Amino acid sequence: MSTKERAPLGFGDELESFDPAAWTKPKDKPAGNKPKPSVAKEAAEASGFKSREPVKTQPKPEVPAPTPAPKQQRRRRTGRNVQFNIKTKQEAIEAFTAIADAQGWGFGEAFERATELLQREHGAGKEQLSGS
């Protein structure tokens, strides 16, 4: 503990008469001089005041939104577990998807069939692909 006294700040006498309650006394509200809502509305309209309140309108009859065509599920249990990502043009993806959908194939099966067709047409066999 310190034995030194604090230096005086110069307003010690003021603290004796300090009353914080004097600052929080409620202000007297004038009773009953609030205008009626109809009078206030007329005065606002006469002065050109535009209310921010939403305008009440008749609810529109609900028209059911057109339901989009359900997307075809592409998930199948095929045993394929290797992913192959490529970048191509949008038109090629749409053509590939259209062929797979028309034949009822998943993308994996369509890719395997396309690979087999390319091997037949261009003569690249599995042994040639692994040796190059």
| Interval 102-126 mean pLDDT | 88
Above pLDDT 90, what percent of the chain? 27
Higher pLDDT, 17 or 25: 17
Instruction: Band the pLDDT of 58: cuts 50, 70, 90.
Output: confident
Q: Identify residue 18 by its one-letter amino acid code.
A: F
Query: Inter-axis angle of helices 107-122 and 90-103, to 10 degrees?
Result: 100
Instruction: Band the pLDDT of 132: cuts 50, 70, 90.
Output: very low
Spatial distance between the Cα atoms of 108 and 54, rounded to a whole number of angstroms: 56
Lowest mean pLDDT among 8-12, 89-93, 125-129: 125-129
Instruction: Band the pLDDT of 100: cuts 50, 70, 90.
Output: very high
